[in-house]
Amino acid sequence: MIDFIRQFFLDLYEVAPRWNFIFFHDPVQWERVVEGFWVTLELSVACVIFSVLIGIVGAWAQGSPNRVLRAVVQGYIQFFRNTPPFVQLLFFYFALGQFTPTYSPDGWLEVPVITNVGWAIISLSFFAGAFNVEIFRSGIEAVPDSTKEAAEALGFNRLQTYIYIVFPLAFRVSLPALNNNLVNLVKTTTQALAIAVPELLYQFVGIWNDYPSAMYPSLTMVFLIYIGLVGILVFSMHRWEKAMRIPGYGL
Amino acid sequence: MKKVFMLSAAVLMASAGIATAAQCTNDTWNKVMSRGKMVVGVKADYKPWGFRDESGNLVGMEIDMAKAAAEAMGVDVELVPVQSSNRMQFLEQGKIDLMIATMSDRPDRRKIVGIVQPNYYTSGTNIMAPKALGLTKWEDLRGKPICGKQGAFYNKIVTERYGAKVIAFTGNAEAKQALRDKKCIAWVYDDSSIGSDLASGNWDDFEMPLSSEDDNPWGLAVPLAEKDCIFGNFMSGLSYNWLQNGQLIEWEKKWGIKPTSFLADKKERFKDWIE
């Protein structure tokens, strides 16, 4: 079967030199694609998890009675939501990267403790996290005051009310918007190309630079892989949304 | 199986609009002539071949070539900055009529764009590395992080031949910044460009310690369909003349480029027998 696929794409290249699916008949290029896929997956999963955590904590802090904490969260949102993720990536990697601890294996090289993949995860998580805070805030505001008052009457404190009553309800309201933002986040991981993170697009750009005849096939593959990745994400989010429905709550 | 193959091939070919006819339509040439202007893709970040001077104008050796070509055709010139990673697509899609953008002449590239013979320049692969490291041979790069530029053909070669880990950035500026930040031990690029960087005085603690490899000629390109037609033949003749009469050596001198044996050899080989 593998031989058949390889032969098919080799023949295709003979007939149409512009459609060189090199990664299907050259094992080295195939490895690059696989490697890129794993990095993209790693970036996506890590960023989704961290950005949701940032969103949850941020939304809670936004409702805090402490004015300083509220101001910090507001500042964070304004900064990360209103500047381009591309610029953030470059800034984090090149500017902040200088101030993080490094170690030196050979006396000259200064390998930062935070790698470029690390910076990409940090930067993209904070970027998407800023949106998530606002998304969760919209969910929290949708929870009626009377519900919170009822929780208070039962003796819950602010944190308990948030964890057991407000957030579970708010989360359900937030899911569709969260879904949107996470889809965006997975696509934004391609921008990590700017700081040479070897994710999917980086690998494909490398392939079509080495083999110009592989450009259209590479782009086609990028589309297909992202449609697949985002498809899986959207599918599981919808399943989750359904599973979390509270019958009769009207959500 | 054969049927499936032929069918998909036909679909792909139709969708890509691949012209199989070998007839000369001279579309680009006619377009340039009728609008009286030639659009040339050049580098804007590759001193001294194509770069921006202090007032922001594109200047350099290849810009001089572009202007001379337009002048020879009797048309105006418009310069469009291109990147290594998009220059062939610009030409293919007609965004530019001619490409003179430090492009190495590679077999796979000849299938995409009409690289005109004779080649007009050459460069080899080398690295810029800190003097402190005292690198002496290519093997020193094995397993080490090396900064590179996306789109350069030798990224693949140094990875495969010497096991270096190339971290490829989108632009030269980012890659060189990463070298200064000590994120990699060397910057792999064209020896000619590294030479002019070192001569600029901004890289005093750095050197070009290895012997250049994979000396590779540069080619200018017209659209593939025009390679054996008027435009391609015209540019071939012009390139030949520039090599033969020493014009390229003049430009090399003008822009302070270290003289290459390539141009001297070509001038010698094409020497007129009536002298």
Q: Does B8 touch chain A (CB under 8 A)?
A: yes
Confidence band for A12, pLDDT divided at 50, 70 and 90: confident
The pLDDT of residue B17:
46
Confidence band for A239, pLDDT divided at 50, 70 and 90: very high
Which residues from chain A sit within 8 angstroms of residue B183, using beta carbons?
97, 109-112
The pLDDT of residue B220:
92
User: What are residue B144's phi and psi, to 5 degrees?
Assistant: -100, 150
% of residues, chain B, pLDDT over 90: 15
User: What are residue A240's phi and psi, to 5 degrees?
Assistant: -65, -45
The pLDDT of residue B56:
85
pLDDT at A145 over 70: yes
pLDDT at B49 over 60: yes
Q: A117-131: b or e for each residue (b if 16 or more CB lie within 10 Å)?
A: bbbbbbbbbbbbbbb
Q: Which of B131, B158, B177, B182 to mutate to test the interface with A (most CBs of A within 10 A)?
A: B182
Note whether ipTM > 0.85 here: no
Could you give the residue ranges of the DSSP H alpha helices within chain B?
A: 2-16, 27-35, 61-73, 87-92, 107-110, 154-162, 172-180, 191-199, 230-244, 247-254, 261-269
Q: Count Cα atoms within 13 angstroms, Cβ side, for A241.
A: 14
User: What are residue B51's phi and psi, to 5 degrees?
Assistant: -155, 175
DSSP conformation letters of B32-58 = HHHHTEEEEEE-SEETTTEEE-TTS-E
The pLDDT of residue A196:
86
Q: Which residues contact A103 (CB under 8 A, 6 or more apart)?
A: A110, A111, A113
**CA-based nearest distance A180→chain B, Å:** 29
Report how far residue A80's alpha carbon sits from residue A58's, in angstroms, rounded to the nearest whole number. Answer: 13
Confidence band for B5, pLDDT divided at 50, 70 and 90: low
Could you give the residue ranges of the DSSP H alpha helices within chain A?
A: 2-15, 22-25, 27-62, 67-81, 85-90, 116-141, 145-153, 158-160, 167-188, 200-210, 215-243
Q: Choose among A108, A110, A112: nearest Cβ to B133.
A: A108
Q: Which residues contact A122 (CB under 8 A, 6 or more apart)?
A: A92, A114
pLDDT at B13 over 60: no
Report how far residue B20's alpha carbon sits from residue A18's, in angstroms, rounded to the nearest whole number. Answer: 12
pLDDT at A223 over 90: yes
Report how far residue B263's alpha carbon sits from residue B196's, in angstroms, rounded to the nearest whole number. Answer: 18
The pLDDT of residue A44:
93
Strand B76-81 to B37-42 pairing: parallel
Report how far residue B257's alpha carbon sits from residue B193's, in angstroms, rounded to the nearest whole number. Answer: 9
Which residues from chain B sit within 8 angstroms of residue A7, using beta carbons?
none
Q: Does A3 touch chain B (CB under 8 A)?
A: no
The pLDDT tens digits of the residues spanning B102-138 come to: 888 888 888 888 899 999 888 888 899 988 888 888 8
The pLDDT of residue A64:
84
pLDDT at B74 over 80: yes
DSSP E strand stretches across B91-227: 98-99, 114-115, 121-130, 145-149, 165-169, 186-190, 206-207, 213-218, 221-222
What's this model's pTM, rounded to 2 decimal places? 0.73
**Beta partners for residue B129, in sequence order:** B207
| Pair of tokens at residue B88 | 């062939």
Which secondary-structure segment (H or E) carries B80?
strand B76-81
B190 and B78 in contact (C-beta within 8 Å)? no
Which residues from chain B sit within 8 angstroms of residue A112, using beta carbons?
183
Report how far residue A66's alpha carbon sits from residue A62's, in angstroms, rounded to the nearest whole number. Answer: 9
Length of chain B: 275
The pLDDT tens digits of the residues spanning A121-139 come to: 999 999 999 999 999 999 9
| Residue B12: count of CB within 10 angstroms of its CB | 17
Q: Reduced to 3 states, what is the DSSP secondary structure of residue B122?
A: strand
Length of chain A: 251
Distances (CA, A) of B60 to B43, B79, B239: 9, 12, 17
The pLDDT tens digits of the residues spanning A44-94 come to: 999 999 999 999 999 989 888 899 999 999 999 999 999 999 999 999 988
**CA-based nearest distance B249→chain A, Å:** 30
CB contact under 8 A, A210 and B153: yes
Q: Does A99 touch chain B (CB under 8 A)?
A: no
Q: Does B7 touch chain A (CB under 8 A)?
A: no
